[in-house]
Every structure is written in C-alpha cells, then in structure tokens.
Structure 1
C-alpha cells in the first residue's frame, strides 16, 4: 500500500505490531529506540533484537546503542551491526553531556557500519554529521521534525534545508522525518522530498482513512458521540 511517495518505516518495539505492519501495511523498514523498548516491557535487548531480525526479513531495521560513553558505544555498535547486513546502528548526535558523536560516527562509518544518526533537531547538526559518512556506506539522518513542531516551530524549512544537504552529500545517505504525529506529516514529508518517515502503530492504523469522504467521516463522528451517550446511561434533562 504505497499511498505516498516516501518509504514508511514502522516505529515501535512490539513484535506483533511489526509483523502486522510488514504483512498488511507494506512498510519498507523498521526502527526502535530505548523509550519504545521500555514502553513495550523489553527486558533482554539482544534476545529482542534477534527475534526482530527473524521477523523483519531483509527489510532495514535500526537498533540504538544504550551507552553514554563513546568507547562503550562503539563496542555496542559493532555488536549490533553483526546482527545482519540490513541493520542500521542508531547513534544519538550527542551524548547526555552534549559532546558530539560525530568523531565516533566517522570512525564507525570507515569500518563499514551503516548508521542511523538520531535525535537531530537543527540544520547545523545535519551539516555536521553528513560529511562524516564514508562514500561506500548507506546511512540515515533522522531529523526529529515532530519534536521541533512540539516547540511551536514549523519544521518545514528545516526539512527543506536538510533535503538539500543530503542530496549534495557523498555516498548513499537518506533523510528521515522522525516523530511523526499524524497522517498529514507523511504527506508533508513526501511533498518535501524526504526519503523516509517513521510512523508509530497508532498512526499506521489511521492510514486506512486516507482519501476518506469527509462528510461521511462527520456522520461517523456524530454516531460515535451518540454511542457514547448511550453507554453513559444518563441525560441532561
């Protein structure tokens, strides 16, 4: 189901949801992160990762490092990369001290690791990290457009500039719109020429509404209110 000219990646840590996204929604890849894993109750990272690998087949999958120090982060990245050729290792743009991860990203890229740089929110961060990738590698730059929008700032200009930076880069670098909040974001990202957008299960389930007649949706909304009135079992007068 290719509703928009963009690759939709399912974002989550519930394996059953991943299976459904692959089989019913034809997603093009998967991502996860520590917050999603915590929410899903994951207790064994590598066991979870191996189960996911058996689920997603050869589709791209991003697993994030857990460490906050770059030495351990590197070891984790190399271990995660060994899971399969379709694995992208997610590295945050900085650690919790605000120290840049770019030197580590450059080092890992030179070793052939495919990287998904995460938690990017500024164009300066995009410009800083893109040149760190080696020409013979495939990488992803994840710009958290949704989190930018949460601050009251329209992320459109940021994403436009990011598209241009990625287009002019060496190697095979893809731009990802992260923190999708609604189906409209998918259209916005596609219209801007973004390569990938990550979409959580609640938003994925709304894809069936694309193109829906709005008058019909209005009626269904009123009917939904009426059903809730009946369930409440009381009246105003």
Structure 2
C-alpha cells in the first residue's frame, strides 16, 4: 500500500520523505490556506516546491465546478510538473472532465467520494485515483471501511485500474485497517504515519536492551 501525506506543509512533507516511506502528496485549498498560501501565483509556486521534495504523485485540486473551467484549471495544473494529478470533485461536470483528462493522458484524483456508486462512475470515466473520505463518514456514524471494502470488490470484479486512495484518514488504525481492506493508497497527516512507529513493548524492550548492554559493558571494565 502506498503512503501519501495530506498536507501543504513543506516541513512535514520533507520529514515524511526523509522517513523513507512517502509515495506522494495530496493537497486542497483548505490545506493551502492553513499554511497561509494565498494568491494564484503563490499557490503555483507552492505546488512546484512540493514536487521538488517528493518523487511521487502530487494531487492539486481545481476550484471550478463547471466543465470548461475545470478543464482550463486542470490543464494549467498538469503543466506544472509530470507528477501533478488533477484533483476533481465528484460532480456531474467533474466526471465529464475526468473522462476528458483520461483521454488526454492526464492523471486524475476524483475527490469527495462517499458511495460505491460514485466510485464506480469515477472508474468508468478513467480516474487514476478515487478518494473515499473515511473520517467524514465516521463522523456521521457510517462505516467508512465498509465503503473501502465495497469499492475494492467492485474494482476487482471488473479489473478497473483506478486506485483506491483512502482519504480523511485521521489515525494509525485507519491506516492499518485500510491496508486490511485493500486500499491501494492512504493519505493522512504526518502524525498518523509516525504513530505507526509506536508501541509500548518496543519502548520497554529497547530500554531493557540498553540497560543490559550498559551493565555488561561496565562489568567488562
């Protein structure tokens, strides 16, 4: 399973890259605003800075909701770098645009997916990635992991190449469970990725090893 980081924070992206497990980055206007990135030129420069850090795909979201504008924005984003994936909302005009981009050889990420039917449409249109939002489904007492399972079954039934990119992933167990249910990718904050490193038995075991080593070394002096 691929690990993407969901942020526009360059320091977090660099840290994930340094960890050696980063496969890509997802961003959106809210994440850009959180980093104080304002203005079209600054946003473009920030995408270029992200692409300079990671070797993987970088999802860059269009703002438009009308077909012609989605196409225009998407083409401009795709020109920035070969790693740019045009992130398009799951709406009627978005599906039309995904088909256009697919025919043009431009990678896409269909975002804001909350049902298996939506995921099926995205795959039919040729989306590179489809992004079901786990955390937001959990927020309304709906099982986001069941959606991952349903999409996996449908895609496997018909051998769709579209990759399941589990989004709105908030903690380490979301990542582990996504791996169990067959997601191709998870995108999450850095904190969720680094939480996978932690286990109290690892900490206590290492402390014991170091204590024993110290005792043996001092005994040899």
User: What TM-score do you get using the length of structure 1 for normalisation?
Assistant: 0.79
Three-state SS of the structure 2 residue aligned to 1:161 is helix
C-alpha displacement at 1:215, in angstroms?
10
C-alpha displacement at 1:145, in angstroms?
1.4
Q: Is 1:107 matched with 2:124?
A: no
The 1:7–1:55 alpha-carbon spacing in structure 2 relative to 1, beyond 3 Å, is same
Q: 1:45 aligns with which of 32, 43, 55?
A: 43
Q: CA RMSD in A?
A: 1.9
C-alpha displacement at 1:174, in angstroms?
0.6
C-alpha displacement at 1:170, in angstroms?
5.4
Post-superposition CA distance 1:132-160 (Å, at most 9, x none): 11xxxx70011111111111111222111
Alignment of 1:81-92 (within 5 A): 81-92=78-89
Is the 2:168–2:188 Cα contact (8 Å) retained in structure 1? yes
Post-superposition CA distance 1:53-82 (Å, at most 9, x none): 1121x3111111122322111111011111
Q: 1:119 aligns with which of 93, 104, 112?
A: 112
Q: 2:189 aligns with which of 192, 200, 216?
A: 200
C-alpha displacement at 1:203, in angstroms?
1.9
Q: Is 1:24 matched with 2:19?
A: yes
Alpha-carbon separation, structure 1, partners of 2:144 and 2:35: 29
Alpha-carbon separation, structure 2, partners of 1:53 and 1:26: 16
Match of 1:131 in 2: 124
Structure 2, unmatched stretches of 5+, are 205-221
| Equivalenced residues, count | 201
Alpha-carbon separation, structure 2, partners of 1:86 and 1:169: 27
Alignment of 1:185-224 (within 5 A): 185-209=174-198, 211-213=199-201
Post-superposition CA distance 1:95-132 (Å, at most 9, x none): xxxx4421111111111110011000111111112111
C-alpha displacement at 1:52, in angstroms?
1.3
Structure 1, unmatched stretches of 5+, are 1-5, 217-237
Alpha-carbon separation, structure 2, partners of 1:77 and 1:167: 29
Post-superposition CA distance 1:7-38 (Å, at most 9, x none): 11111001111111101252111111111111
